[in-house]
Amino acid sequence: MGNNISEVCTKIASGHTVHEVDCATKEKIDKLLPGPCVDVVLLRPHNWVVLRRFLKIHEKVYNFQFRPDDVVVMTYPKCGTTWSQEIVWNMRNNPDLDNPDADDALFIRSPQLE
């Protein structure tokens, strides 16, 4: 897969169109996200900046269906997301702290949609 966005798609399931990021915006992103080159694209009309690799899974995200018993845990980055997930899982599934599934890894008991 090359860098030409038309090779990926030009319109995604949500109705947004995919555009390359201009140089000025790319410079701002590089300052905000230091480190290895961040490969991003712009989704219009809302001007959302997303990683290019999002385009591989955008339909799954757009069409995701929550179940009636799903619980959504939302936190700011680096503010105790894992701890919050653990607390919520135990409140719902392990109030007596004797559930045998409690030994399973948290990512199995509490999957993330990022």
Dump pLDDT digits (tens) for 7-56: 444 889 999 999 998 888 888 888 887 766 678 898 999 988 888 889 99
Q: Per-residue DSSP letters for 74-101?
A: ---TTSSHHHHHHHHHHHHH-TTS--GG
| Tens-place pLDDT, residues 47-87 | 888 888 899 999 998 999 999 999 999 998 889 999 999 99
Domain boundaries, the chain: 5-62, 66-114
How far apart are the C-alpha atoms of 16 and 10, rounded to whole Å?
A: 8
Global pTM? 0.59
The C-alpha atoms of residue 86 and residue 89 are separated, in whole angstroms, by: 5
